[in-house]
Amino acid sequence: MNLRLPLFASAAILVTTAIAARNPTLADAKAFLKKAETQLLALSIDASRADWIKSTYIIDDSEAVAAKFDQAQIDATVRFAKESVLFDRLALPPAERRKIQLLKNSLTLATPSDPAESAEVTRLATSLEGAYGKGKYCPQPSKCLDLEDLGRIMANSRDPKELAEAWNGWHAIAKPLRQPYQRFNTLANKGARELGFADMGAMWRSKYDMPPDEFAKEIDRLWEQVKPLYVSLHAYVRNRLREKYGDSVVPADGPIPAHLLGNMWAQEWDNIYPLVAPKDADPGYDLTQILKSRHTEPLQMVRYGERFFTSLGFAPLPPSFWERSLFVKPRDRDVVCHASAWDVDLVDDVRLKMCIDITSEDFTTIHHELGHNFYQRAYNAQPFLFRDSANDGFHEAIGDTIALSVTPEYLVKIGLLQTAPDPSKDTGLLLRRALAKVAFLPFGLLIDQYRWKVFSGQIPPGEMNKAWWDLKLKYQGVAPPSPRIEADFDPAAKYHVAANVPYMRYFLADILQFQFHRALAKEAGCVGPLNRCSIYGNAAAGAKLNAMLRMGVSRPWQEALESMTGQRAMDASAIIDYFAPLKKWLDEQNAGKPIGWTK
């Protein structure tokens, strides 16, 4: 195994040296891409297997091994990306030109060319994720709480003091990550600049089939479309929380304290639905209680999700999925419980990693994660460099699109409900969904807005925590439950920051999923309200979905979007249409009350 990597490097050097000595040809470009795809596929499989072990057996050795394989994969990708500039001026067929461009834009981390710095930055990346996964708050020497424990407190407690303690306890685990994260940024930016990007943020924004600055403007446009809906929701929730906790805890016209919103990061608010639900809007069922009353097991939860896809005409998941996935948190070791879908061999070795609780939230999450797995299988016949979603927002959006079909009508069809609630209950159903989807929008936006500014230096090292809360206030209208100081590093209390996972995909997914859902609902012949449409069991909708999934990233995302929706631009009108009845209701509830927030 250790002998193969130098051979890869040596072979690539010989090829590119020979090409550099003369004018490159189309045959040279095709040979280069064939070599790159073959070697990168092999390295990807090795790295995925090592990363799987690292995430499901968190020990120093698994982290060290994963760091080595990750470094080998990243270094090879960086090397091929740099060598691909030899073909920049060569007239290439569209497929080869797109592969060259994708190769350059495929990285979330570009290692510097210096071997010592390359090893250091990959080691830092692995250790930052590992530190997050091992994080615990220990209120007593004999009592330690991990994120799963603390998350349950945040979701279920209604005691502001207990919530604040859980919030502060988890955010404290991020403090030691500040210095290594700063060093990580320095090295990652160096690697990005060696590839010709201004910084790592510009490198991330270059992946979207448009210039990086144009993409940033597109994000601003989409946010302005949905902002009025969010502001209405924020005002309503703030007023209801004031009724619960009092004026001394929740201000009339200020930001909402972050620890009161039912989630460690205030990113989704659906856990506080019981506190803000409209009167007489109970849908008449509690999916969590239904699942628990039936003694549903984690494996059964996943089977429900699989049957959704097979009802659309997709093939069942392979036996290896059931043998190799992680569904339950082990008792004997630390694991990264954050739910994720894996495509280990980029063919058929798909897996789910998740510490499943028998809850409505995890029922929906499973449908979402399996959306990734079925997308991965759909494009597995594409060449290696095309085995990905049209853009990273598409991957998240597909899973969420499926989750939008988890409607009362769907629950009736699969036997979890006897009858669907009357449409007069839709205000409550829409509010619950808005607390998850609409509340998420500014959070999905600000994570990468923050990191883009850190990478570029717009946020200086001495203001990294202050800037985080400035953005939280600007976009979300939330404030911390306790005074924060610059020695804190609250951004890294979120997995995606600690693990260097780009987050803009989730904001895009929150927009795209409603475009997808509207288009598929139309294909399925649904004539009712969008929030009551489910494509479960509809072969025509499944065929349209699968046709787009099979494209992978072989074509620009605008073409993939058009094949599904008939539109070439992302458009928030579908989310506005979906929640239009709720927006009208929210504005009625907010009449005469403060809207927006001040410090």
CB-count burial class (<10 Å; 0-12, 13-18, 19+) for 149 = middle
CB 124 within 8 A of CB 180: yes
Per-residue pLDDT tens over the stretch 292-319: 999 999 999 999 999 999 999 999 999 9
Report the run of H or E that residue 375 belongs to, with start and end: helix 360-378
- What's residue 118's pLDDT? 92
**Which residue stretches of 21-177 are H helix?**
26-56, 60-83, 94-104, 115-133, 147-156, 160-171
Per-residue pLDDT tens over the stretch 375-411: 999 999 999 999 999 999 999 899 899 999 999 999 9
Map residue 556 onto helix, strand or coil. Answer: coil
What is the rounded distance in angstroms from the CA atom of residue 122 to the CA atom of residue 132?
16
Average pLDDT, the chain: 92
Torsion of CA 31, 34, 36, 40, to 10 degrees: -160
What is the rounded distance in angstroms from the CA atom of residue 122 to the CA atom of residue 108?
12
- What's residue 3's pLDDT? 30
pLDDT over 80 (residue 174): yes
User: Left if phi > 0, otherwise alpha if psi is -120 to 50, otherwise beta: which for 570?
Assistant: beta
What is the rounded distance in angstroms from the CA atom of residue 389 to the CA atom of residue 42?
20
- The phi and psi torsions of 256 (rounded to 5 degrees) equal -85, 135
- What's residue 338's pLDDT? 87
Q: Which residues contact 301 (CB under 8 A, 6 or more apart)?
A: 291, 356, 358, 362, 363, 366
- What's residue 4's pLDDT? 31
Max avg pLDDT among 140-144, 278-282, 417-421, 451-455? 451-455
- What's residue 21's pLDDT? 54
Per-residue pLDDT tens over the stretch 6-39: 333 334 444 555 665 568 899 999 999 999 999 9
What is the rounded distance in angstroms from the CA atom of residue 356 to the CA atom of residue 326?
9
pLDDT band at 111 (very low <50, low <70, confident <90, very high): confident
Per-residue pLDDT tens over the stretch 472-521: 999 999 999 999 999 999 999 999 999 999 999 999 999 999 999 999 99
Structure tokens at 113: 């060319």
Tell me, rounded to whole angstroms, the distance of Cα 178 from its chain centroid: 22
pTM for the complete prediction?
A: 0.84
Cα–Cα distances in angstroms (integers) from residue 182 to residues 172, 178, 288, 497, in the given order = 17, 6, 42, 12
pLDDT band at 75 (very low <50, low <70, confident <90, very high): confident
Smallest Cα–Cα separation from 404: which of 514, 299, 499, 274? 514
